[in-house]
A and B are shown apart, each in its own frame.
Chain A
Amino acid sequence: MDITFTLIAQALMFAILIWFTAKFIWPPLMTAIENRQKTIADGLAAAERGKHDLDLAAKRSAELLREAKEKAADILAGGDKRASEIVEAAKIQAKVEADRIVAGAVAEIEQETFRAKEQLRSHVSAIALAGAGRILGREIDAKAHNDMLDKLVAGM
């Protein structure tokens, strides 16, 4: 167990190795490691941000969907309402039209009746005159009796 010059030689070697490590090995390795750590940290932060954005987008899409559904329901309700309004209006119009047609028909019927009556009257007077002529066997002074007949016809 003898201490010799070996000790000093070893110390020298040690010093060289320390210098070499401190100058050429440690700094580049540490730089690489720290750069990678930064890259990974950035990547993780970006992923976190992406996740957050995704959450927001999901929330927003749900919101939009809900709004769209509401709007669709509104539109459907409005459509239903409008349709029933149109039906009601159509009913009313149809009734008015029907009434008008009925009134027209009634008026026409009345007119026809009147015309038939007129025709009938003139025929009745002629038939009455002819019948009276036959019964009496002689000519009747049409002139003399026309007034009376007319009054008769008018009385019918």
Chain B
Amino acid sequence: MSTEHALTPSSYITHHLTFNSQPVQGGFWSLHVDTLIVSGLLGLLTFGFLYWIVRGVTAGIPCKRQAAVELLVEFIDDQVKGIFHGDRNKFVAPLALTVFVWVLMMNAMDFLPIDVMAWVYEHVFGQEHWRAVPTSDINTTFALALSVWFLMIFFSIKVKGLGGWIHELFCSPFGSNPLIWPANFLFNLIEYVSKPLSHALRLFGNMYAGEIIFLLLGMWAATGLVGTIFGALLGAGWAIFHILIVVLQAFIFMMLTVVYLAMAHESH
């Protein structure tokens, strides 16, 4: 926590929830350096690790770390197999693996104790503002959700053709009678808008709320001995519960990705 600020609850929370935003040209054209660096590092670390495993992969008796990675891969493959009926190995399953692993790692940054890390960021790296959980930045979740959304439209057109896709926009789900074309189109429009919104906001909301609760507990811990004890106890409880949330949200995000792409591959 910065010593220059007066330590009030609102300044504490505001401090923790301020991005390290660097303007490129100001306004929209600015970058959240913290989000980018943390997610980039996590991507490098995780996928570098996977690549390291893959380079030493053997079809014979696997070593323990290969077995662990295979467990993950087979888990993802099983999930995708149940939803997506096509050649999943070409794109959808690797996409699911990417989404799950990356989101899981970004969510897992929430496990780092916020105030300790704030001190590290400030005194080791010289950064006053640093938010370490990329998935509690709405830019990240929307980046992922919109990428999936574009992929969804891309595969829809690729599988059904442009005409087929437009036909589907107007003729499903209620039927191909011209009188109900507007209803169909409206329905599909709402669906296309709501999919990325719910996809992105679900993850963002969960991670953001998780962070806020850690902050509130941290604030309570600063109010006195009783607050410290209960804040610590509840903080530990919330952290344990958070293990579930982190994994669950990564899993849900991956499943929705697979479901959306599977729907894009199916003709109605």
Contact = CB atoms under 8 A, between A and B. Distances in A.
Contacts of A4: 21, 28-32, 139
A99 B30 CA distance: 141
A18 B95 contact: yes
B147 A11 contact: yes
Interface residues of B, number: 46
Interface residues of A, number: 32
Give the interface SS of chain A, mostly helix, strand, loop or mixed: helix
A30 interface: yes
A20 B24 CA distance: 28
A24 B52 CA distance: 10
A17 B98 contact: yes
Interface string B31-45: 110011001100100
Contacts of A1: 138
B32 A25 contact: no
Interface string B143-178: 110110000000000000000000000000000000
Given A5-B30, A6-B32, A29-B53, 4 more contacts: A6-B139, A15-B147, A24-B51, A36-B60
Interface of B: 21, 24, 28-32, 35-36, 39-40, 43, 47, 50-51, 53-54, 57-60, 62, 69-70, 73-74, 77, 89-91, 93-95, 97-98, 102, 134, 137-140, 142-144, 146-147
